[in-house]
Amino acid sequence: MLRLLAVAAFVASVSVSCSEVSFIEINPPADLQSKIDSIQALKDAQNTGDKTTIDIAVAEVGAKDYTSGWWVDFSQYFTVPQGKCLTVKFINHNGTLDGTGTGNNWSNWNMCVASGERDSDGYTEFFVLRSDAYGWGNGDYNGAMISQDYPDTDGDGDIWNDFKRHLDGAVVEMQIDYATAGTVFLTATHTSVDGVVLTETYEQPVTGPSVTAFLIADGSFMEVKEAWLEPSKILEIPDEMATSIVVSGAPAALELGNTDFWGDAVATVTFADGATTVADTADITFVVPDLSTVGTKTIIYSYSKTKQGNYGKPVAGTYSLNVINPVKSMEITAAPSYPKYYVYDAPVAFDPTGLVVTATYADETTGVLDNSMLTFGAVPADGTQEVDVTYVGSSSTVTIKCPVEVIKGTDAVGVSDCSTGWWTDWSADIPVPSGETVSYNVYQYSSCGSNWHCTDVILRKTDLTENAVVRMDNFGWGGGYDGNANLVLESNWNWDTFLAGLNRADIKITVTNNGDNTADIRYDVTYINGETHFQSFKGIVVDSADLNCCLTCEAAYAVIY
């Protein structure tokens, strides 16, 4: 009873209190509901389940006056999960239509597909693709997989003048489709201001749960308009039949008792679409003859898998090797074609081109040993004028000496095995007074992996402000280079042989301070086979009162003598 009285008293108290409260009435804006509806509509449009819109954080990529140097200006990072397709829509500018651009084919968009973000742990580039149907990348990169339909619209036999005109102001819709099978398919569709449509495509295997994509300016300017993700459009990756198989690096000979007919050989399979892959030896069938007798033997090999790993029509090939008796002694019967070397403070690789070594076998017969059967010491930097040539057999090891001419340099740039990373080593700065010229004599070793694996010249002020960096492959960048309308580049390269000629090239480099706040650089290059070429850069903008030069390199080694 007491509890009931207490409850009754509480209810009465609350009733009295509530009757004394004044409520405030809030009137919402008349358009509040429409605003709520528009926000919801925007959210619905951004994430429909099939399409997810990506906010554009970097709307402009590159300088509008086309002065952006390589690897300076980038878009935001776009992450593409496996099984998704990224579309980036942007307007490409190169300054061709009004004559303000660089005039280079590559001064348009560039797209990098990688794992992770630049300068982060785990960052690895899968490939970089340029709009002018050129690119580079990791071991899976295959330039033969780039396709384009760029027309010669003016009929002058040159597609690139039309290409540059069509891409200036073109709307580009780029799709990067990371198919579930671990391959990226890139398609760039360009619609020019006058309605011409150009397409470039590329595909490459990649790894990981996602890839990172970003645009790069290079004397170009891009306006990024929109980007979105949606499910992969590649429902089924088309399979391709193998069309050929080629073996390289197989042993030229085996000593009796050694049955390793494969050694470090590599079998490269080409498919119907032009793609290539290195075949696993487990997937290769071999027919091996009797290796227990001396003589020439033929190895037959075949491969019967498609591009997607299914079984298909086989492709086959053969190679020969000699089974020989044990080697008792060796002698050099023809000297190397190019016995002269320049060194500084580290050994350099020996070049056995033209070298002929004749062996005397255990049964007193003689025969020429293929150079693939021999190992060669490095050319020493200690003044020694000979290199070890060694045969390692099943029963004995035989070594002889090969004479070489070794010349000591005064300085060097890079690592002697040509593993030099970009922007890791430089020669000393040398002042170039107004009206004078500085010259370098350089003996260049190169890995010959890419055109830019060579010696570069840097022009800069005493405080290290760069005027320009130039490469011998007709390329450069910097404050006095980019956007320089008076700059003149000249060369007489044969681009079909340029790369092969980089290693062991003898180069004279001259840097001239013209005294009028411009400078010229010239390379005079003699290939090891005697072929000569030149590359020049005229009119680089500098401060003639404060000009220094130095050398650097990438994947090369430059001995200054």
How much is the average pLDDT of 58-74?
94
What pLDDT digit, counting tens, does each position of 311-321 carry?
A: 999 999 999 99
Are 294 and 418 in a shared domain? no
Establish if 4 belongs to a structural domain: no
Under 8 Å CB-to-CB from 26, ≥6 apart: which residues?
Answer: none
Domain match, 62 and 165 both? yes
Residue ending a domain, choose from 297, 324, 351? 324
Q: 495: which DSSP letter?
A: T
Q: Is the torsion defined by CA of 515, 520, 524, 525 positive or negative?
A: positive
Q: What is the pLDDT of residues 403-453, one digit of tens each?
A: 999 999 999 999 999 999 999 999 999 999 999 999 999 999 999 998 999
Cite the beta strand spans of 395-493 per DSSP E.
Answer: 397-403, 405-408, 411-414, 430-431, 437-446, 455-460, 466-471, 475-477, 488-491
pLDDT score at 181: 78
Q: Is 225 found in the same domain as 101?
A: yes
Q: How confident is the model at residue 18 (pLDDT cuts 50, 70, 90)?
A: very low
Same domain? 390 vs 488: no
Q: Indicate whether 336 pLDDT > 50.
A: yes
- Judged against a pLDDT cut of 80, whether residue 46 lies above it is answered with no
Residue 41, domain member (yes or no): no
Average per-residue pLDDT for the chain: 91
How many whole angstroms separate alpha carbon 403 and alpha carbon 150? 54
Under the banding of pLDDT at 50, 70 and 90, the label for residue 31 is low
Query: What's the confidence (pLDDT) of residue 29?
Result: 53
* DSSP designation for 517: S
Q: Is the pLDDT at 227 greater than 60, yes or no?
A: yes
Residues 104 and 174 in one domain: yes
Q: What percent of the chain has pLDDT over 70?
A: 91
State the pLDDT at residue 50: 84
Q: What is the pLDDT of residue 42?
A: 45
Contacts of 32 (CB under 8 A, 6+ apart): none
| Residue 334 banded pLDDT, cuts 50, 70, 90 | very high
Give yes or no for residue 86 having a pLDDT over 80: yes
User: What residues make up the domain containing 313?
Assistant: 242-324
- The span from the CA of 426 to the CA of 412, in Å, is 9
Q: Does residue 96 have a pLDDT over 80?
A: yes
Residue 180 has a pLDDT of 80
- pLDDT value, residue 262: 97
Are residues 150 and 76 located together in one domain of the fold?
A: yes
Going by the DSSP 8-state scheme, the letter that residue 452 receives in this structure is T
Q: Residue 274: what pLDDT? A: 85
Distance CA 53, CA 229 (A): 6
Residue 481: is its pLDDT beyond 90? yes
Residue 296 pLDDT exceeds 70: yes
Does pLDDT of 5 surpass 80? Answer: no
239-278 per-position pLDDT tens digit? 899 999 999 999 999 999 999 999 999 999 999 988 888 9
Q: Report the CATH number that the domain containing residue 295 is assigned in CATH.
A: 2.60.40.10
Question: Do 462 and 317 reside in the same domain of the chain?
Answer: no
Whether 39 shows a pLDDT value over 60: the answer reads no
Residue 12, pLDDT above cutoff 90: no
Is there a single domain that holds both residue 225 and residue 101? yes
Whether residues 452 and 552 fall in one domain? yes
Q: How many domains does the chain have?
A: 4
Give the tens place of pLDDT for each residue, 115-156.
Answer: 999 989 889 999 999 999 999 999 899 999 999 999 999 999
Would you say 452 and 471 are in contact if contact means Cβ atoms under 8 Å apart? yes
Collapse the DSSP code of 16 into the 3-class scheme (helix H, G, I; strand E, B; otherwise coil) and give the result.
helix
Q: What is the model's pLDDT at position 451?
A: 92
Residues 208 and 122 in one domain: yes
Q: Give residue 483's pLDDT.
A: 85
Checking if the pLDDT of 549 tops 90, the result is yes
| Residue 40, domain member (yes or no) | no
Q: 231 pLDDT exceeds 90?
A: yes
Helix (H) or strand (E) holding 41: helix 32-46
What CATH number does the domain containing 353 carry?
2.60.40.3630
Q: What is the pLDDT of residue 44?
A: 45
For the domain that residue 76 is a member of, what is the CATH number?
A: 2.60.120
Half-sphere exposure of residue 116: CA atoms within 13 angstroms, side-chain side: 8
The share of the chain scoring above pLDDT 90, in percent, equals: 83
